[in-house]
Amino acid sequence: MLAKILLHHSIPVVKAVQMRVSNSEKESTLRSQENAKRPHHV
């Protein structure tokens, strides 16, 4: 019974984490594209 409650509450948390991860992935890809446009100084 307790496991069901925990599982029920963890579903929105997991979804929120997945959304955050996908957003950060999008940001990182955008940043890498921006960096690719700029000349690199080694």
pLDDT in the model for residue 13: 85
Please name the amino acid found at residue 42.
Answer: V
Distance, in Å, from the CA atom of 28 to the CA atom of 35, rounded to the nearest integer, reads: 10
Distance, in Å, from the CA atom of 14 to the CA atom of 19, rounded to the nearest integer, reads: 9
pTM, two decimal places: 0.52
> For residue range 10-33, what is the model confidence (pLDDT) as tens digits?
888 889 999 999 999 999 999 999
Query: End-to-end alpha-carbon separation of the chain, Å?
Result: 58
Q: What is the dihedral of CA 12, 16, 21, 22, to 10 degrees?
A: 100
Distance, in Å, from the CA atom of 17 to the CA atom of 22, rounded to the nearest integer, reads: 9
